[in-house]
Structure 1
Amino acid sequence: MHLGIDFGTSYTKLGYMDQGNFINLVGEENQIPTLVVYLPSREKLFFGKMAMRLNQPGAEEVRFFKLEMKRNPDFRLGPFTLNDILREYFNYLRDEYVEVWRGELESITVSVPNYFGLKPRKMLLEAVRQSFGLSEVYLLPEPVAALLGYNAIHAQEQLEGDILCVDIGGGTTDFSFLSMTHKHNEIVMESQFQIGHDAFSGSELDRGVLRFILNPLFKMQHGYDIPAPITSEKNLQGEERYWFNRLMVTAEQVKVAIGRQSSAYFNIPGFYQQDSLVFDLPAELFMAQLEPVFTRLKKYINERVREKGELLGFSREGRFILDYLLLLGGASQTRGVNQLIADICPGPEIIHPQDLSFNVVRGLSQWKQAGSSSFLRVKTIYPFNFFIEKWNPVGTGTILEKLPFDTENLELDINGRHKIFTVPVASPYNLATNTNSLKLRVHELDSADLQAQVEQFMGQDLVLQVDDEEIEQDLVDLYLNLGASTMEVGKDNNKLNSAVNEKQLFPNLLSHQETALDLIRLYPDTNPRLLQDFEEYLDQFSSQPSSDYSVLLMYKLLAFLQLMG
């Protein structure tokens, strides 16, 4: 069994492929709530449906705990660290859903948002490996898995070209620009960023239904409001938490029902406490009451997504230049969402997966099962910068210096190991005070953060720490290992491997240079000796790995200057 785990912000889905058919391991539930409840009286964590039904005093609930991996890695729930919570959650998935199928587990592929840095990625990898006792665990960006899942179902109509993927999930809305070419079996993910659960998502729509539709109707019928702590979701205690979860489920059911018809009738016994709620809801009222929520999505696309598209070349003069818009996520079926997206992004065809519920997990389960990882090259722009500490040349203590490796613009193989910097041992970057020792500290910062100060990091963004290790060489190489989600210090015995991986960053480089040489030959006035030197260098370049492409550029510039002269 090659297991796929769609570890979503609000829900998790599990499944695998069997002879071309997708097997849903969750059963009729289809999805598992990604939330955790800590019960101090029992010093125990609860997950899934059980956690939603808990009605105990003192219980502490955390919805969307996945987001804490990025926002607050030091998060704790009672005595449990975030690492503990993740490991216990995947233990729960293993015991309740996976082991009952009694299949032999060969690999696990887990979805990961591209806005996760190295530390949350590594945290996720280790939690799954520890829970399942399996080393063959892989991370795959969510939009890539979605595209694979779509193309698997629509084998005769596979998407190709420039695509904007909009995934409106329960907790967040994620935007990704993808470029897909079948000729070279390559997917390039240009960018991914999120709105966040406080702006627009399925849960925010449900909150809007509860606050702006259900609560006013309930007050009209019974003369009192649902208590403010429940509708505002603040300082919820045991019984209040129970009613909030129950009312949110009802709000979601209303949202789904009105998405399928122009008007809907509801009769909800025991809506709150012993009081029922009966009403007709026309689609026009639904749209009018949720206008503030939809406005947030429209504002974000116009201000943030369009700006990012212009930087990447996917938008010009206020219009997106795309082949398709792939609309994903359960909340994307909400009434008004499709039309809103079409109005904001005119031009590209809006595509919905045939199997929306399991599209991402289907792609994940095929990553190893169908051998996609062996013939499909997936590249990504890694939206983080790296900063190395060095001694302050004009004062005391240390300062930060940004590493020049351009992760924001280079297309990096998601399983590659990429050399990003060389540290001279005798340099300010070596913080060791002992001769022949090495002490390094490298930090990671979201590329959206423009300023970096030592005090800002406080250790949580530290991705490499080498403390006074003995060193014999004069130079030390640093590597970004995306496959292992780590920053590594290179040794002499892997420099060749590094050069090979660097060359893979530009898989078509050699053929492009040979094409350039052929074009230069077409001009009769080009110096024959220059052509001969260029050709000899290409022969040398093709026979061994190289990390210096400046000579290739020099030959082309010389030819260009000669022609201009």
Structure 2
Amino acid sequence: MHLGIDFGTTRTVVAYSDRGNFPVVAFTDEAGDAHEYLPAQVALTDDGLVCGFAARGAREQGFPVLRSIKRALASPAANVATRVSIGDAKVRLLDVLATYLAHVHSSLLESSTIAQLLQDDPITRVVVAVPAHANSAQRFLTLEAFRLAGFPVTAMMNEPSAAGFEYTHRLSRTPSARRSRLVVYDMGGGTFDASLVAINDRSHSVLGSVGINRLGGDDFDMALADLACELVGVGSDNLGLDGYFELLDEAQAVKEGLSPQSRRMVLEVSDRSVTVPVPTFYDRVTPLVEQSIQAMGPLVAGLDEGEPDLSEIAGFYLVGGASVLPLVPRLLRERFGRRVYRSPYPAASTAIGLAIAADPESGYTLSDRLSRGFGVFREADEGQRLHFDSIFNRDQQLETDTEVRVERRYRAAHNIGWYRFAEYADMVDGQPAGDIVPYEDVIVPFTSELQANGVDLGSVEVVRTGEAHWIEESYLIDRHGIVKVTISDLDTGYRQTHQLGVNHEQVVQPE
């Protein structure tokens, strides 16, 4: 069986391929009720970590819970050594992710609507998704967690790219020769992404992507919860962590029940009922939605000047669980008119698109691009200033079956090379700007003595040398957007390989 799995901030949604159809999988909770998702929650109990619906029940019993697991993964500093707090315990993030996804795997086999089918048709192909602006380490952690959980992952897609597949599958006649571009607006539980996609029948080419790492439905929930506390005159800190989490869950449920006709929302705060006028809530969260619209400036010509050019755009496609908030399509229609469409399956659109990609007979193809650039800071003018060398820019095209390699060769000028790598969202005047993710320095010895002795390179003084070995830097981006760096001394055979953000180093000594 072929699956598409959308591991979301608050929920995980799974779809599967069934003879040209792509149904969403339902899971049964402990009360026997079916839901087309699994909660993305992990609780720490006396018996260890429990996940999904069981984590919800554990929280009601007073056990600490990690709500919205994927928000921890969204941190720019996340790597394989990162630990997260669950109550008073510190647990490695990768272990939490793998435990949760292993729960997804077992739930598919034991308590899902396809459990019986999987007995005769086991899982053979899985396509998963990440935010379009996810950095290299976040992509690796996602793939590694799925691997540890036992899923045979065959591909990874950016979330809005997958939603573009669902759009074309459902509305194949909407794009035309004159208007062949689609803007996918993906407002999820914890992240916002948007991609500009050129569509030609079943061939999709991503022309650009933007994103905001911490903007989504969780922020709407917190805004509503805090507003309710203000109206009742109770500080959110006074509720305690468990009390505030309960209020957040209630805020999420009330928010998701809003319709365009809704005028008020009722919540319970400290055993007191409080009525929140919908216009007041909308005033509070309008800046968040406006922030997402402004972020699409690089994708829509003229948007920054207030006169967007829509001549080639077939539509704006709203997906992601947070896009169900009526305010979201309303504000976008005020800006872009009738070309704003909301998916009938906003929370499942990405999973459906992933299932389409997993089906080898679907005929859909994708040419994607990086949404973040990658480069290294170097010394210039004999150490008088720093220069940034952009290795891959954010428009670097990625194919599903090839890797991209860039090489640099030069004579070493010093006894040691310090490499300060970073991923970035934008370039301004030759320098990285916007959301910058720096990595730990990579230190490479450029002399035979230092390569052989295994000394602490961080304590060695950097000096100019006349030995001048030939050095090669090799940068490889795989089809998932993960960067690997190899730095070699061509004269001695010494080599270091790093997968950035993974705290992994492979050193090959000279023979």
Offset of 1:154 from its aligned partner? Answer: 2.7
Offset of 1:213 from its aligned partner? Answer: 4.6
Greater percentage in strand: 2
TM-score w.r.t. the length of structure 1 is 0.67
In structure 2, C-alpha distance between the alignment counterparts of 1:36 and 1:60, rounded to whole Å: 6
Offset of 1:91 from its aligned partner? Answer: 1.2
Q: Counterpart of 1:301 in 2: which secondary structure?
A: helix
- Residue pair 2:236, 2:244 contacting (<8 A) in 1 also: no
Deviations 1:372-429 (A, max 9, x none): 5x75131214422211657x77359xx86533445134433355311223223x334x
Offset of 1:226 from its aligned partner? Answer: 4.9
Offset of 1:62 from its aligned partner? Answer: 4.7
In structure 2, C-alpha distance between the alignment counterparts of 1:152 and 1:464, rounded to whole Å: 50
Report whether the alignment pairs 1:33 with 2:51.
no
1:98/1:192 CA distance change after superposition, 3 Å: farther
Aligned equivalent of 1:417, options 403, 417, 441: 403
Code of the aligned partner of 1:318: G
Report whether the alignment pairs 1:174 with 2:193.
yes
Report whether the alignment pairs 1:251 with 2:241.
no
Q: Structure 2 regions of 5+ residues with no counterpart?
A: 28-33, 453-468, 489-511
- Residue pair 1:52, 1:245 contacting (<8 A) in 2 also: no
Q: Report matched runs for 1:314-329 at 5 Å.
A: 315=303, 317-322=305-310, 323=313, 324-329=315-320
Deviates more, 1:11-20 or 1:413-422: 413-422
In structure 2, C-alpha distance between the alignment counterparts of 1:86 and 1:195, rounded to whole Å: 18
Offset of 1:141 from its aligned partner? Answer: 0.7
Offset of 1:294 from its aligned partner? Answer: 0.9
Code of the aligned partner of 1:92: H
The corresponding residue for 2:412 is 427
The corresponding residue for 1:346 is 336
Report whether the alignment pairs 1:52 with 2:56.
yes
The corresponding residue for 1:478 is 475
Q: Report matched runs for 1:511-522 at 5 Å.
A: none
In structure 2, C-alpha distance between the alignment counterparts of 1:90 and 1:146, rounded to whole Å: 22
In structure 2, C-alpha distance between the alignment counterparts of 1:210 and 1:465, rounded to whole Å: 54
The corresponding residue for 2:218 is 203
In structure 1, C-alpha distance between the alignment counterparts of 2:180 and 2:253, rounded to whole Å: 36
Offset of 1:30 from its aligned partner? Answer: 1.7
1:69/1:465 CA distance change after superposition, 3 Å: farther
Report whether the alignment pairs 1:359 with 2:349.
yes
Report whether the alignment pairs 1:301 with 2:306.
no
Q: Counterpart of 1:258 in 2: which secondary structure?
A: coil
Aligned equivalent of 2:127, options 109, 121, 124: 109
Q: Report matched runs for 1:135-534 at 5 Å.
A: 136-157=153-174, 161-182=180-201, 185-194=203-212, 196-197=214-215, 201-213=216-228, 216=231, 219=232, 225-226=233-234, 228-229=236-237, 236-237=240-241, 241=242, 243-259=243-259, 261-263=261-263, 271=268, 275=271, 277=273, 285-299=277-291, 301-302=293-294, 304-306=295-297, 308-309=298-299, 313=301, 315=303, 317-322=305-310, 323=313, 324-343=315-334, 345-347=335-337, 349-371=339-361, 376-387=365-376, 394-395=382-383, 401-413=387-399, 415-424=401-410, 426-428=411-413, 441=419, 443-448=421-426, 459-460=439-440, 477-483=474-480, 485-489=482-486
In structure 2, C-alpha distance between the alignment counterparts of 1:295 and 1:432, rounded to whole Å: 52
Aligned equivalent of 1:123, options 122, 138, 141: 141
Q: Counterpart of 1:356 in 2: which secondary structure?
A: coil
Code of the aligned partner of 1:445: E
Q: Counterpart of 2:199 in 1: which secondary structure?
A: strand
Q: Counterpart of 2:214 in 1: which secondary structure?
A: coil
In structure 2, C-alpha distance between the alignment counterparts of 1:192 and 1:317, rounded to whole Å: 18
1:381/1:295 CA distance change after superposition, 3 Å: same
1:161/1:59 CA distance change after superposition, 3 Å: same
Offset of 1:55 from its aligned partner? Answer: 4.3
Report whether the alignment pairs 1:18 with 2:23.
no
The corresponding residue for 2:463 is none
Q: Counterpart of 2:326 in 1: which secondary structure?
A: coil
Offset of 1:16 from its aligned partner? Answer: 0.9
Code of the aligned partner of 1:210: A
Offset of 1:168 from its aligned partner? Answer: 2.0
Deviates more, 1:142-151 or 1:155-164: 155-164
CA RMSD of aligned residues (A): 3.9
In structure 1, C-alpha distance between the alignment counterparts of 2:193 and 2:26, rounded to whole Å: 24
TM-score w.r.t. the length of structure 2 is 0.73
Offset of 1:360 from its aligned partner? Answer: 0.9
The corresponding residue for 2:73 is 68
Greater percentage in helix: 1
Q: Counterpart of 2:344 in 1: which secondary structure?
A: coil
Deviations 1:42-62 (A, max 9, x none): 383332233233146673635
The corresponding residue for 1:537 is none
Deviations 1:337-366 (A, max 9, x none): 2221112x2346011223333211011011
- Residue pair 1:68, 1:75 contacting (<8 A) in 2 also: no
Report whether the alignment pairs 1:5 with 2:9.
no
1:214/1:32 CA distance change after superposition, 3 Å: farther
Code of the aligned partner of 1:335: P
Task: State the aligned residue count.
Answer: 441
Deviations 1:266-290 (A, max 9, x none): 6x8xx456x47486x7xxx312343
In structure 1, C-alpha distance between the alignment counterparts of 2:389 and 2:304, rounded to whole Å: 31
1:452/1:305 CA distance change after superposition, 3 Å: closer
- Residue pair 2:205, 2:366 contacting (<8 A) in 1 also: yes
Q: Counterpart of 1:318 in 2: which secondary structure?
A: coil
Aligned equivalent of 1:80, options 85, 88, 91: 91
Code of the aligned partner of 1:48: G
Deviates more, 1:350-359 or 1:23-32: 23-32
Report whether the alignment pairs 1:96 with 2:88.
no
Say which one has the larger Rg: 1
Offset of 1:187 from its aligned partner? Answer: 1.6
Code of the aligned partner of 2:195: S
